[in-house]
């Protein structure tokens, strides 16, 4: 008990000193040191960093003060001066108060800042009453884009000001502002701070595969929330694949009717629009991937004529197990395929608003094509000789042409380029190999092959979150740098960013969120923060703070260290009054959003009638 009392006295004394300005930046030799002194004792009260075990066997690394942002801003100058807030007397103001993005951001961040039971302004400090948000473009942008400006400046002193060129920078700055806040004994604090920030990479993507397992909408939305807390700006929606076709197409409704797992495992047009809107107001782009010519088995359920019949003993549609199934890959020699894709992608263009569409093109293995005499004849006729990468090139050229004619740009996986196909110069190539399996080359060797050919690139290889091993594995994710390959400055400058991927062989709504978070947060800081921010011992505590922040905000982010988050660990709530016969509904999960119930109720009524 004595230990606790002493630490409290120390904490209180130091806090008073800080409040009185005894240890302000002007007086103290090292303002950072004073912050650390105060924060270390306060941290031990607020968070689980300093477990008793840690006190006895201190872990290395610098513990961050509470209210440390993740990802680390470009410039962060905290002082030890504290301010507080009065939840009942605080407002956001902006020169764009009629902009939906600004209005909704204020609606979202108000409960994030003050929505926890019993938080109140700290005694003895005068509260900040306003965050003034200035968007200098004076423009309410509609959709986030590759070229958007996400930079911002934030100052918290006697007044608080956030300035950004565009609404997108305002969103990032607001997120940072919300992270600077911390609570101690229910009192709200923030250190006076000045931040100048902007992302290192313009493309910071997170990929979800909704074909191997269907991921319900509420989970996708939770994930978009978590993405915004980590400043990701692209949701790469790998929406269909061999296993299922959940995307409901108006032009070709048979695709999902026959290709989805069931008629409930689908994303209807209104669902897709809902996701895009949810992402948009958070400054997140939605890039859909319709992977072709491989990974298309589910398309063939409705349109078998799209697929190549594989041959065995001269019989079409015959599998040779271990080599190919009865049907594989689009039959790229058929005009029907291109007519079909023209209509299909015209719809995709209308549904999805991003300037980019991901065209897949990975793992189009040649063996089925090789077995098919019609394809051989086609190649002879067109003098596409010997090398099937030229057939792949033919397909890429025609398909990217379709997209280009629709006025859209394209991302593809590395495979065609690696195979030697020449694709259009403006193609963005996503490097995905060489991150995990031992028999491949390291990813940087692929980068070194592809970058000199002049393509813009995005790295995904080292961030495949579906692969798991005994933790902690976040450091390996954290230390992978997409520019760490041998290449010219120009080649490195053509790296647009990176992406973390979740292939869903073994994830669905039950486990995908804790599998993403906070591991994906590692990637987020690598892609946002300056290259020099890479000390894993320091990052360890900051990422732990970020994971607890996410837990507090309703994201089931899993632990990476021993310890606890505070009074808000996951699954708290009815600890005091457990109902013995309480049904086991989602107790370990998260609250389903009210709107789901609202959706279900009318349906229920319809059925009862």
**Residues of this chain, 261-300, that bind another protein according to CB under 8 A:** 261-262, 264-265, 295, 297-298
Between CA 420 and CA 414 the distance in angstroms is 10
Q: Does 591 bind another protein (CB under 8 A)?
A: no
Q: Is 192 or 552 the residue whose CB approaches another protein more closely?
A: 552
Q: Please select the residue that binds another protein; options are 175, 354, 362, 491, rule is CB under 8 A.
A: 362
Q: Please select the residue that binds another protein; options are 107, 363, 426, 493, rule is CB under 8 A.
A: 363
State the nearest-atom distance from the C-beta of 262 to another protein, in Å: 7
The secondary structure of 142-203 as a DSSP string is: SS--TT----EEEEESSSEEEEESSHHHHHHHHHHHHHH-EEETTEEEEEEEEEEE--S-SE
Q: Is 418 or 448 the residue whose CB approaches another protein more closely?
A: 418
Q: Please select the residue that binds another protein; options are 49, 92, 109, 324, rule is CB under 8 A.
A: 324
Percent composition of the chain: helix, strand, coil (DSSP 3-state, to 5): 40, 20, 45
Q: Which of residues 46-85 bind another protein (CB under 8 A)?
A: 48, 51-53, 56
Q: Please select the residue that binds another protein; options are 69, 199, 288, 556, rule is CB under 8 A.
A: 556
Compute φ and ψ for 307, nearest 5 degrees. Answer: -90, 160
Q: Which residues contact 345 (CB under 8 A, 6 or more apart)?
A: 290, 357, 402, 403, 406, 408
State the Cα angle at 200 between 199 and 206, rounded to 5°.
Answer: 75
Q: Does 319 bind another protein (CB under 8 A)?
A: yes
Please give the DSSP secondary-structure letter assigned to residue 267: B
Q: Which of residues 97-136 bind another protein (CB under 8 A)?
A: none
Q: Is 169 or 246 the residue whose CB approaches another protein more closely?
A: 246
Q: Does 303 bind another protein (CB under 8 A)?
A: no
State the nearest-atom distance from the C-beta of 72 to another protein, in Å: 24
Q: Is 288 or 514 the residue whose CB approaches another protein more closely?
A: 514
Q: Please select the residue that binds another protein; options are 163, 436, 483, 536, rule is CB under 8 A.
A: 436
State the nearest-atom distance from the C-beta of 508 to another protein, in Å: 5
CA contacts within 13 A on the Cβ side of 139: 10
Contact between 125 and 83 under an 8 Å Cβ cutoff? The reply is yes
Q: Please select the residue that binds another protein; options are 81, 141, 328, 499, rule is CB under 8 A.
A: 328
Q: Is 45 or 194 the residue whose CB approaches another protein more closely?
A: 45
Q: Please select the residue that binds another protein; options are 214, 235, 267, 299, rule is CB under 8 A.
A: 214
Q: Which residues of 548-580 are buried (b: 16+ CB within 10 A; e: fewer)?
A: bbbbbbebbbbbbbebebbebebeeeeeeeeee
Q: Is 265 or 449 the residue whose CB approaches another protein more closely?
A: 265
Element (H, E) at 442: none
Closest CA to 152 of 257, 232, 75, 71: 75
State the nearest-atom distance from the C-beta of 57 to another protein, in Å: 8
Q: Look-up: residue for tokens 């190539």?
A: 429
Among the candidate windows 6-14, 276-284, 523-531, 592-600, which touches another protein by CB under 8 A? 592-600
Contact between 242 and 298 under an 8 Å Cβ cutoff? The reply is yes
State the nearest-atom distance from the C-beta of 586 to another protein, in Å: 6
Structure tokens at 433: 């190999």
Q: Look-up: residue for tokens 């080649």?
A: 491
State the nearest-atom distance from the C-beta of 414 to another protein, in Å: 11
Between CA 165 and CA 285 the distance in angstroms is 18
Among the candidate windows 342-350, 360-368, 402-410, 526-534, which touches another protein by CB under 8 A? 360-368
Q: Please select the residue that binds another protein; options are 61, 269, 317, 563, rule is CB under 8 A.
A: 563
Among the candidate windows 6-14, 249-257, 380-388, 601-609, which touches another protein by CB under 8 A? 601-609
Q: Which of residues 223-262 bind another protein (CB under 8 A)?
A: 241-244, 261-262
Q: Which of residues 444-503 bind another protein (CB under 8 A)?
A: 464, 466-472, 503
Between CA 170 and CA 95 the distance in angstroms is 12
Q: Which residues contact 533 (CB under 8 A, 6 or more apart)?
A: 71, 72, 525, 539
Reduced to 3 states (helix: H, G, I; strand: E, B; else coil), residue 284 is coil
Q: Is 440 a catalytic residue?
A: no
State the nearest-atom distance from the C-beta of 23 to another protein, in Å: 28
Q: Does 585 bind another protein (CB under 8 A)?
A: yes
Catalytic pick from 339, 363, 440, 505?
Answer: 363
Q: How many residues make contact with another protein (CB under 8 A)?
A: 100
Find how far residue 566's CA is from the centre of its chain: 26
Among the candidate windows 20-28, 160-168, 357-365, 403-411, which touches another protein by CB under 8 A? 357-365
Q: Does 604 bind another protein (CB under 8 A)?
A: yes
Q: Does 316 bind another protein (CB under 8 A)?
A: no
Between CA 288 and CA 215 the distance in angstroms is 15
Q: Is 233 or 243 the residue whose CB approaches another protein more closely?
A: 243
Q: Which of residues 564-583 bind another protein (CB under 8 A)?
A: 564, 566-567, 569-575, 578, 580-583
Q: Is 116 or 261 the residue whose CB approaches another protein more closely?
A: 261
Neighbours of 422 (CB within 10 A): 14
Q: Please select the residue that binds another protein; options are 437, 438, 598, 602, rule is CB under 8 A.
A: 437
The CA-atom distances, in angstroms, between 295 and each of 237, 311, 428 are 15, 19, 20
Contact between 306 and 330 under an 8 Å Cβ cutoff? The reply is yes
The secondary structure of 358-378 as a DSSP string is: EEE-----SHHHHH-HHHHHH
Between CA 442 and CA 98 the distance in angstroms is 50
As a whole number of Å, the CA-based R_g of the chain is 27
What are the beta bridge partners of residue 204? 498
Q: Which of residues 370-429 bind another protein (CB under 8 A)?
A: none
Q: Please select the residue that binds another protein; options are 99, 219, 255, 477, rule is CB under 8 A.
A: 219
Structure tokens at 262: 């069931």
Q: Is 340 or 503 the residue whose CB approaches another protein more closely?
A: 503
Residue 277's Cβ-count burial label (10 Å; 0-12, 13-18, 19+) is middle
Q: Does 508 bind another protein (CB under 8 A)?
A: yes
Q: Please select the residue that binds another protein; options are 102, 174, 507, 543, rule is CB under 8 A.
A: 507
Between CA 473 and CA 119 the distance in angstroms is 35
Q: Is 156 or 459 the residue whose CB approaches another protein more closely?
A: 459
Q: Is 271 or 448 the residue whose CB approaches another protein more closely?
A: 271
Residue positions annotated with a catalytic role: 363
């Amino acid at each position: 008990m004595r230990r606790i009392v002493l630490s409290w006295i120390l904490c209180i004394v130091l806090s008073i000193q800080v409040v009185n300005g005894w240890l302000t930046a002007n007086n103290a030799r090292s303002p950072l040191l004073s912050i650390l002194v105060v924060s270390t004792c306060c941290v031990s009260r607020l968070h689980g960093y300093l477990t008793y075990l840690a006190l006895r066997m201190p872990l290395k690394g610098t513990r961050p003060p509470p209210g440390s942002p993740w990802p680390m801003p470009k410039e962060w100058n905290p002082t030890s001066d504290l301010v507080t807030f009065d939840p009942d007397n605080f407002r956001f103001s902006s020169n764009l108060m009629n902009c939906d993005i600004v209005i909704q951001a204020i609606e979202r961040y108000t409960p994030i800042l003050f929505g926890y039971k019993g938080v109140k302004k700290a005694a003895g400090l005068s509260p900040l009453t306003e965050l003034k948000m200035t968007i200098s473009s004076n423009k309410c942008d509609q959709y986030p884009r590759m070229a958007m400006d996400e930079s911002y400046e934030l100052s918290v002193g006697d007044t608080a000001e956030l300035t950004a060129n565009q609404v997108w920078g305002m969103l990032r700055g607001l997120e940072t502002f919300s992270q600077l806040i911390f609570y101690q004994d229910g009192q709200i604090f923030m250190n006076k701070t000045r931040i100048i920030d902007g992302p290192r990479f313009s493309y910071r993507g997170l990929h979800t595969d909704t074909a191997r397992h269907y991921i319900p909408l509420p989970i996708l939305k939770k994930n978009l929330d978590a993405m915004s807390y980590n400043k990701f700006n692209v949701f790469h929606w790998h929406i269909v694949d061999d296993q299922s076709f959940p995307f409901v197409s108006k032009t070709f409704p048979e695709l999902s009717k026959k290709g989805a797992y069931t008629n409930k495992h689908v994303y209807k047009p209104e669902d897709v629009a809902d996701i895009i809107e949810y992402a948009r107001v958070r400054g997140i782009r939605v890039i859909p991937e319709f992977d072709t010519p491989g990974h298309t088995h589910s398309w063939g359920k409705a349109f078998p004529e799209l697929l190549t019949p594989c041959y065995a003993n001269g019989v079409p549609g015959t599998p040779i197990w271990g080599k190919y199934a009865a049907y594989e890959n689009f039959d790229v020699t058929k005009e029907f395929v291109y007519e079909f894709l023209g209509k299909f992608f015209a719809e995709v263009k209308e549904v999805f608003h991003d300037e980019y569409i991901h065209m897949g093109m990975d793992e189009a293995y040649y063996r089925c094509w090789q077995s098919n005499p019609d394809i051989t004849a086609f190649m002879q006729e067109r003098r596409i000789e010997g090398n099937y990468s030229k057939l792949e090139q033919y397909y890429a050229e025609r398909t990217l042409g379709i997209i280009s004619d629709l006025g859209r740009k394209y991302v593809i996986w590395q495979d065609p380029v690696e195979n030697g196909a020449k694709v259009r110069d403006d193609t963005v190539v996503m490097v995905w190999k060489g991150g995990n399996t031992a028999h491949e080359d390291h990813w940087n060797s692929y980068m070194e092959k592809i970058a000199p050919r002049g393509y813009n690139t995005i790295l995904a290889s080292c961030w495949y979150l579906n692969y798991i091993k005994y933790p902690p594995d976040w450091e390996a994710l954290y230390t992978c740098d997409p520019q760490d390959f041998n290449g010219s400055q120009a080649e490195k400058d053509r790296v647009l960013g990176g992406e973390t991927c979740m292939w869903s062989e073994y994830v669905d709504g039950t486990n995908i969120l804790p599998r993403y978070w906070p591991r994906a947060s590692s990637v987020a800081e690598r892609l946002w923060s300056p290259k020099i921010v890479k000390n894993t011992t320091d990052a360890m505590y900051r990422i732990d703070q970020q994971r607890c922040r996410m837990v507090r905000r309703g994201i089931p982010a899993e632990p990476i260290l021993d310890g606890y988050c505070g009074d808000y660990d996951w699954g708290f709530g009815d600890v005091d009054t457990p109902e013995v016969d309480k049904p086991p509904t989602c107790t370990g999960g998260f609250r389903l959003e009210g709107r789901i119930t609202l959706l279900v109720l009318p349906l229920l009524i319809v059925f009862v009638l």
